Amino acid sequence: MKYPAKEQLIMIDEGYKALSMRQQCKILGTGRSSVYYKPSLKQNGTLLANKVLDIWLKFSIFGYRKIAAELKRRGYLDLFI
């Protein structure tokens, strides 16, 4: 029996020891990549540019490395990589 893709992903249990992830995916007929896939948030470059500007206005002595570190600390850089 073929299940919709969303239902297949719900059925897969990473903690189930009797069947590996590979075996579970094979039984359900889905690829393992779909289990591990995490959709990225699409945001335009304007948001990132505004965040860089905000940091630079607050810490004008920061170079690109410290600005990138601050973006990462605030959780913005991970959205664009």
Q: What global pTM score does this model have? A: 0.45
In degrees to the nearest 10, what's the CA dihedral of 52, 57, 63, 67? Answer: -40
Rounded to whole angstroms, how far apart are CA atoms 75 and 13? 29
Q: What is the pLDDT of residues 1-53, one digit of tens each?
A: 677 777 878 888 888 889 998 998 888 888 888 888 876 656 567 888 889 99
Rounded to whole angstroms, how far apart are CA atoms 52 and 57? 9
List the chain domain ranges. 5-36, 45-79
